Chains A and B, each alone.
Chain A
Amino acid sequence: MGLRRFSILLICSLIFSAPLFAAEMDPDGILRFSLGGEVSVLNPILSTDTASSAVEGAIFTGLVKVNEKLEMVPDLAERWEVSKDGKIWTFYLRKNVKWHDGIIFTAEDVKFTFDSILNPKVNSVRRSDYIIDGKPIQFKVLNKYTVQAILPKPFAPFLIHAGMNIIPKHLLEGKDINTAEFNRKPVGTGPFIFKEWQSGDHVSVVRNQNYYFGKPLLAAINYKIIPDENSQLVALEAGEIDDSGIPPKDYTRMKSVKGIKVFEFDALVYTYLGFNLANPKFADKRVRQALAYATDKNQLVSLIFRGLASPAYAPSAPISWAYSDNVPKYPYNLEKAKKLLKEAKAENLEFTILVNQGNKDREKAAVILQQQYKKVGVKVNVRVMEWSALLKIINAPKDPKDFEAVIIGWSLGLDPDAYSIWHSSQYPKGFNFIKYKNPEVDKLLELGRTTMGKSARKKVYARLWKLIAEDQPYIFLWYPKAVEGVSERVGGLSKPGPAGLFLNIEKVFVRK
């Protein structure tokens, strides 16, 4: 090749790769997150708030973890087997994994973690995840790197609960886990090591050079506590943090802001209007169906979310593998609504909707529904209550419970098992707080959780959702989309999905 051509090629490639050089990864990069609330404890078996879990995600790891497709993949466990009868799970652990203080991670730590959760003196609310039909799961150490979980009966959702982050036995054995100093100075097996925690202000972690999936590309992560959503957004725009949720009203504006990339993705959540079926007002299916016809879900979605949500029709979420929208949908139809109300002799229906304070979306929905139902002659009173007061009412172990209707949401786990929400035995103690009872649904729920094998389960759940939607014990309102804004200097993000953008935090980096 002639010298001239070569030089031109060289110059061209330099020019075109210049942006790449400019966008070079910063080896000492620090990622700045914002937390929407205060971190309570940095101990995965105790914490229940999202702020604590966000930080724990960087410090701790579990036997299995979730991938972009929402499948469970190996983490601390290299592989696992399930016995033929579905009752014994054997996990073969990764070797030579070290805790942040240098001690080797073994099967003892795994057994210790789960035994601690099962210990009634420990304030872990996850305990019932490991108790099946009243019997706790037994954990056995076979050898240094093999641990077994012995279940009282086959239980498909177990794999997900096996993903609990593991805590170190050598640091917590014999101590009162509820109050241990460890909860302020955690030690884990994850990609980042705890550095400091200034109460109410921030938490920071630094790179774990010996992380088993490879040295993290970030030198450190700083979690700043900014409780107000709007302040978070302001901070993102000002370049003070790298990531923030975006309320629907700011979506259009943020899309055109330079330097910030906006992601929207589905979440495993649905919001609904639940009726107390023990109340004679709602005993007749036709009343509930009438109200469903009177609900203009599109107006809800457009007024509250400006389109960043979709109407819901089934007790599952579209991105769940078990979702099916082959269900009765009750499209907006005032005439049908009025007709059904007349048939059920409920033309002068009046009821109160409870809503929890602090969730603006639900408060707005209550007010909008009040207006919508007015059009069919139904009078709605809206009562906003504080969250714990609301929970107390719907969780009260009495029959009937003291509410008529409530707008609330379910955050779905990775497993579609909905036994605790819909099974008739889960009332009055359990999540079936509306007293729903349908024997065929009960059977299907049992079947769903004892069947192993995705395609078989999928069929069961499709039938299940259809039956439930037919009964309309809830009016399913919407599936919100999660909207997140991330600074363009951040790279290595995972595909947008309910598992979040920072799924593999060790692969995330920031540019200079």
Chain B
Amino acid sequence: MRKYLFRRLLQLIPLLIGVSLISFFVMHLAPGDPTALFIDPNVRPEELARVRANWGLDQPVYIQYFVWLKNAVLLDFGRSYTTGQPVISEVAERLPLTLLLMIPSFILTLLITIPVGVISAVRKNSWFDNGFTLFSFAGMAIPTFWLGLMLMLLFSVKLHWFPAVGNIILPLITMTIGSLAGLTRYQRAAMLEILNQDFIRTARAKGLPERIVIFKHALRNALIPIVTILGLSLPDLFGGAFIIETIFAWPGMGRLGVQSIFQRNYPMIMGIVMFSALLIIIGNLLADIGYALVDPRIRYEKK
């Protein structure tokens, strides 16, 4: 296990370099121009050209990449084109707000997913199960941004319960519903697998009351997928964060990312992409560890 972990962690570096290569080249080779973020059309084109040169954008792309890489290794991700401030400090300033959405969302998701998944599995095909299955499908099919809009329409515009901007509850609910749906199904499937396993059958054969079988034996094992759930949620939470933060004007890292893309704020985009990629890779690692813990057969990668 330790060897596996170590190998995976080693892979982190080439993965991150791969991500950085693709992002950097996609950004720089694509048409479009960060100086256009000086949105005042009264500015003369020569001025924009000069600023572009000041930012080093006149150099060939591969040289720009190596400069970026050299600094990135030392954790200097350059400065934002819009504010001139270090990318790292801007990301650090906005990250807590995104976490403020992601962490409670994750906790809420856990609190709901696990019991629902377990009960669904135990009472398979009951009204509860079928009802929730329908709900999870619907939850997965709803466009996140539309869900956000509908919640805003209902609670802000019509009912006036919450302000449209600045309040945390609506974005939180939107984010939670989105991740809840898919994960509930996963939990249910995991629980079903466990219930089918030999040791459960043995416990039942032994004549133990059903309640003890479930709570003592099944449940303990059913909680193991938490690690996997954590791993799986991360990329989705991030993806969701970008859109949700934009709709609700939540000033977190996700919205910063979307804005940076529109502004072609290259250093900022690179910083956010790298950070997200890091979190996603770690998330995947956790998910895989989770899988391995649950299913000993997949413990080591086959060659």
Contacts and interface: CB of A to CB of B under 8 A. Distances in A.
Find out whether A and B make contact in their complex, taking CB atoms under 8 A apart as touching: yes
Interface of A: 38, 40-41, 46, 48-49, 120-121, 123-128, 178-180, 183-184, 199-201, 225-228, 230-231, 234-235, 238, 240, 386-389, 391-392, 395, 397, 408, 410-411, 413, 420, 429-431
Contact of A121 (B40, B54, B160): B54
Contacts of B251: 199-201, 225
Contacts of B33: 388, 391-392
Nearest to A240: B163
A500 B262 CA distance: 29
B298 interface: no
A410 B43 CA distance: 12
A180 B33 CA distance: 24
Contacts of B85: 179, 183-184
Given A179-B84, A234-B156, A388-B33, A200 B255 contact: yes
A127 B49 CA distance: 12
Nearest to A182: B84
Contacts of B39: 48-49, 387
A388 B36 contact: yes
B46 A410 contact: no
B38 interface: yes
B264 interface: yes
Contacts of A128: 44, 46-47
Interface string B33-69: 1101111111111111011001100000000000000
Contacts of A123: 50-51, 54-55
B93 A199 contact: yes
Given A125-B48, A228-B249, A392-B32, A413 B83 contact: no
Interface string B234-264: 0000000000000001011001100100101
B79 interface: yes
B296 interface: no
A95 B232 CA distance: 66
Nearest to A122: B54
23 contacts: A38-B259, A123-B51, A123-B55, A127-B47, A128-B44, A128-B47, A178-B84, A183-B83, A199-B94, A200-B252, A225-B249, A226-B165, A228-B164, A231-B164, A234-B165, A235-B164, A235-B165, A388-B37, A411-B41, A429-B45, A429-B46, A430-B44, A431-B44
Q: How large is the interface on B (under 10, 10 to 19, 20 to 34, 35 or more residues)?
A: 35 or more
Given A38-B259, A201-B251, A234-B164, A388 B32 contact: yes
A468 to B, nearest CB: 19
Contacts of B82: 38, 40-41
Given A126-B47, A226-B249, 10 more contacts: A49-B40, A125-B47, A180-B84, A227-B249, A228-B249, A235-B164, A387-B39, A389-B31, A392-B33, A392-B36
Contact of A397 (B45, B79, B249): B45
A51 to B, nearest CB: 11
Nearest to A225: B251
B90 interface: yes
A178 B259 CA distance: 20
Contacts of B83: 40-41, 183-184
A48 to B, nearest CB: 4
Interface in B4-50: 31-34, 36-48, 50
Contacts of B55: 123
Give the interface centre of B31, B36, B48, B97 by most chain A CB atoms within 10 Å.
Answer: B36
Interface string B122-133: 000000000000
Interface of B: 31-34, 36-48, 50-51, 54-55, 79, 82-85, 90, 93-94, 97, 156-157, 160, 163-165, 249, 251-252, 255-256, 259, 262, 264
A225 to B, nearest CB: 7
B164 A408 contact: no
Contacts of A410: 41
A46 B83 CA distance: 9
Contacts of A121: 54
B40 A48 contact: yes
A231 B165 contact: yes
Contacts of A127: 47, 50
B51 A125 contact: yes
A200 B54 contact: no
A287 B36 CA distance: 32
Nearest to A39: B83
A387 B38 contact: no
Contacts of B46: 128, 429
A395 B55 CA distance: 19
Q: Which of A40, A200, A411 is packed against the most chain B CB atoms within 10 Å?
A: A200
Contacts of A238: 160, 163
A120 B50 contact: yes
Contacts of A408: 41
B160 to A, nearest CB: 8
Contacts of B42: 411, 413, 431
Given A178-B54, A179-B79, A389 B255 contact: no
A392 B32 CA distance: 7
Contacts of A120: 50, 54
B257 to A, nearest CB: 12
Given A200-B251, A234-B156, A387-B36, A41 B164 contact: no
A225 B82 CA distance: 16
Nearest to A428: B45
Question: Shortest 5 CB-CB distances between A and B: which pairs?
Answer: A200-B251, A388-B36, A125-B43, A125-B47, A40-B82
Contacts of A180: 84
A387 B37 CA distance: 9
Contacts of A38: 82, 259
Nearest to B79: A179
Given A123-B54, A125-B43, A235 B163 contact: yes
A226 B255 CA distance: 13
B37 A234 contact: no
A391 B156 CA distance: 37
B139 to A, nearest CB: 26
Contact of A389 (B32, B41, B90): B32
A391 B37 CA distance: 10
Contacts of B262: 386
Contacts of A240: 163
A125 to B, nearest CB: 4
A408 B42 CA distance: 12
Contacts of A184: 83, 85
A408 B79 CA distance: 32
A22 B270 CA distance: 55
A420 B252 CA distance: 41
Contacts of B164: 228, 230-231, 234-235
Contacts of A46: 84
Contact of A48 (B38, B54, B90, B256): B38
Contact of A392 (B31, B38, B79, B90): B31
Given A391-B36, A395-B48, A231 B259 contact: no
A180 B79 CA distance: 11
A64 B48 CA distance: 27
